[in-house]
Every structure is written in structure tokens, then in C-alpha cells.
Amino acid sequence: MDNQQLWNNVLVEIELAVSKANFNTWFKDTWILKQEDGVVFVSVPNTFAKDWLFNKYHKTILKSLRTLSANIRALEYLVAKDDGKRKDGALPRGPVGPAAELPLSDFYIDKENNLNPKYTFESFVVGPFNELAHAAAQAVVKKPGTTYNPLFIYGNTGHGKTHLIQAVGNHIRRMDPSKKIFYVTSEKFSLDYVSSVQANKTIQFKEKYRKYDILIMDDIQFLANKESTQEELFHLFNSLHETNRQIVFSSDKHPNFIPNLEDRLKSRFSAGMIIDIPTPDRESRLAILQTKVRNSGVYLAPDVLDHLATSVDGNIRELEGMLNVLICQSQLKGKDLGITEVRNLIKNSAKPKKAVSVKEVTKAVSSFFNIEEGDIYEKTRRKEVVKPRQLVMYILRQDFGVSYPLIGQKLGGRDHTTVIHSCEKIKEELKLNSALEQEINQIRAML
């Protein structure tokens, strides 16, 4: 077994043991440089990757190597540039040589399609929280207009929706330049429509939007309460869909929870694929940071990134913003930042978590379910009240860490065991009921 075969077999085992995000971040650009006296020397792209592999995966890699070859007794990592000529004669796993620079024009948004060239599948970090949305987007670009039409992606701000839906457009444009693609926000669509009505140019408006093969519309929630614009979108949707032209939407919430959105539009959205991008988990946040740091060329120690991923649990934009602060400070000081400096910077720069009272949560839940706020505090077992009360308890405990006894005390003097039972019941129901998860996310957005 040569070095290439050996390392490929190791990677197969590791890929099964770690997340896709971690595998792509840490193992994609690695290979075996050489073997000497039972020591395997693995090439890694930078010192950051070297430290991380040694601290997090060393035992796993060595165990896998020893399973495949009994002669191996040790493992070392070397930072080596991939010049396309490996000592084992194998082809590199990634692109050879330096990355090709984009022409200057490719750094700017094309006015013909409004697509931002930086939003691509290659720059989109995939993790457990967004892999389903990513897979659906990949399916769409393979068969636009027939697979998942329309594609509707929703989630809170800063979760990568705009990046993903524009990546669909950029990929199709690259694969088939003859396709007419257009990206537009719902606000711009609405303004265009209103302007066309005022100028008596509605026919030109219809012709403009109905000529596209791929229409990508962002932030559809802003069409709420705009009846005339919704009607125009309804007819546009029918025109494009009937001729198998792809439509992609994004929103900050599931279409069924967008207030004052016409039922006929909700029905058409539901005919395709509706996918949520939830809040990224810690592992995914770490993978995103690792990718951004690697692309920036600035070194931040593994414990620094780990602390950042743990401390900043908001949206991806907030995470990237805090990372930029650290990179800027590192460059200004001309040295690597220590963990103490990083803690102070995060403490002074990170957005403080919003403090929410029991009354505010109760008000949001009662408003969502259209019941009286006072009903939640009463000792009643009415079905329409029991579920909202349990959700208040669950959100207070899960999101804000309020103690069980205090929750019981604030909600009508109930025993803490009642609160524990309610929280556990919601947890169990969430495993089986995706609609409940959507309801909770909508309530969270109201807080």
C-alpha cells in the first residue's frame, strides 16, 4: 500500500467519525509526505491546521494508521506548500497552484442579474445546521425548474440565506451563461411595481420580470400587508411556474407565519420545498471561523477561536464581525492575540444578550395563540391555555435559564415539579412535531 492509498483509507474512516464541516476544514488539503523509520509525516497547509490536528485528532489519526499498517509507530505534521508534485507522485486533493485571481469586474455586482459574485457554494460553509438547505440548493442547480420549484428558505437574520440563494444563481450562470437570471429583494420588487403603476407602465413591468429563467427573491416577509404587490407576485409566480422556470424565495419566517400574506401565495410556496436554516450550533460556528481565518491569512490560536465560537452565539454576521475585530487588533498590534486579550475584546465589543422578563415572554406567547395574557397565570386546565403555558415555561427555562421554582412562582404559584414536567413534555414533543418547533421559533422572534 503506497502513501496515497494509505492516507485515502485513513480519510475514509475519519470522514465517518467527524462532521462534514470539520472534515472539509481540517482534512481536505492534507496528505502523507513520507514515511521514515515507522514515522508518518503528514503535510498540512498551515501552522494553525497543524496545531488543531495535533490537539483534537492526533489519537484518532494515529489509531487509524496503525490499524492499516502495523509498522507505523508515530505521526508528525509538517507545514508544506502544495506545488502539485508530491513525493508519492499522487495528484493533489485540492486545486493545484495558487488560486486564480478574479478579473476586476467579477468583484462587482452585475447590474444585469444583481448577483454578488462572492456568494458561491465554494465559499458557503456547510454544517449540521444548514446541510439540508445546502443539499436542496444543490439539487435545484442540477435540474432548475423541475426539482423543488419553488425553493423557499427561511431563518433568522444572519444565518446565510442570502448567500445560499445567490449561490444558486451564480452556479447556474456559470454552468449555463444563456440562462436569464435575476436576484431582487421583495422591497425592490414592490417599489418597481408601485413605480410602474404610477407611471402607467405595468405592461413593461410584467414583461421585465416574466423574461427570466431563474427568479430569486429575498426577504419575502416584507410583502406582508401589500395586497396589490402580492397579487402581482401571484400572477408572476404562475407565469414562471407553468413554464418550468425556477423560482427561489427567502424569508425570516415560514410562509405560514408571515402575517397578512395571501393564502393562495402560501399554498404555492408549499407546493415546492420549504426549508429552515436554524441557529448554527457551536461546532458549525467554529468551522465557519476556521474557514474565515484560513482565508484571511491571519493566525489565531485554536483556543481563541474555540472561545469565540462559544462566547458569540448570535447570528453568523455577529460572529464574523467579532472575528474581524480580533483580526484588526492582531494586525494593529503586530502580534498574535492571547486568550486574555480576546476575552476582554469580546466582553467590550460583543452585543449584550437581551434581558427578557417573565411578563414579556407570557405576553408574546399569549399574543401568538390569541388568548388573554391573564389566562396563563390562572389555575385552569383548558386545552387552549395548557399548551401556551407549557411553552412559556419551556422558553423561560431553555432560552433564559430561569430556575424551575422561580418559573412556578411567577406563573401563578405552581410547584417546581409541574414546571419540570411541562418542560420535559415540550422537549419530547419537539422530537416528533416540526410544526411545534416552527411555532417556538416564531415566538422567539417576537421577543
> How much is the pLDDT for 102?
42
> How much is the pLDDT for 133?
93
> How much is the pLDDT for 94?
38
pLDDT class of 354 with cuts at 50, 70, 90: low
The CA distance from 170 to 53, in Å, is 34
> How much is the pLDDT for 230?
95
> How much is the pLDDT for 140?
95
Average pLDDT, the chain: 85
Name the percent of the chain lying above pLDDT 90: 41
Contact 113, 182 (CB under 8 A): yes
User: How confident is the model over 295-336, as pLDDT tens digits?
Assistant: 776 777 888 888 888 887 667 888 888 888 888 887 777 777
> How much is the pLDDT for 115?
93
User: How confident is the model over 118-174, as pLDDT tens digits?
Assistant: 899 988 888 888 999 999 999 999 999 988 999 999 988 888 999 999 999 999 999
Q: Name the least confident of 74-88, 205-219, 239-253, 286-300.
A: 74-88
Is residue 234 pLDDT above 70, yes or no?
yes
> How much is the pLDDT for 84?
44
> How much is the pLDDT for 79?
82
pLDDT mean over 196-215: 95
pLDDT class of 222 with cuts at 50, 70, 90: very high
Is residue 107 pLDDT above 70, yes or no?
no
> How much is the pLDDT for 314?
64
Separation in Å, CA 224 to CA 161, 190, 290: 19, 11, 38
User: How confident is the model over 359-396, as pLDDT tens digits?
Assistant: 999 999 998 898 999 999 988 888 899 999 999 999 99
Residue 20 or residue 435, greater confidence: 435
The gap from C-alpha 231 to its chain's centroid, in whole angstroms, comes to: 31
Is residue 233 pLDDT above 90, yes or no?
yes
Q: Which three cell numbers stand for residue 223?
A: 410583502
Domains of the chain: 3-79 (3.30.300.180), 121-276 (3.40.50.300), 282-349 (1.10.8.60), 358-446 (1.10.1750.10)
pLDDT class of 105 with cuts at 50, 70, 90: very low
> How much is the pLDDT for 97?
35
Is residue 19 pLDDT above 80, yes or no?
no
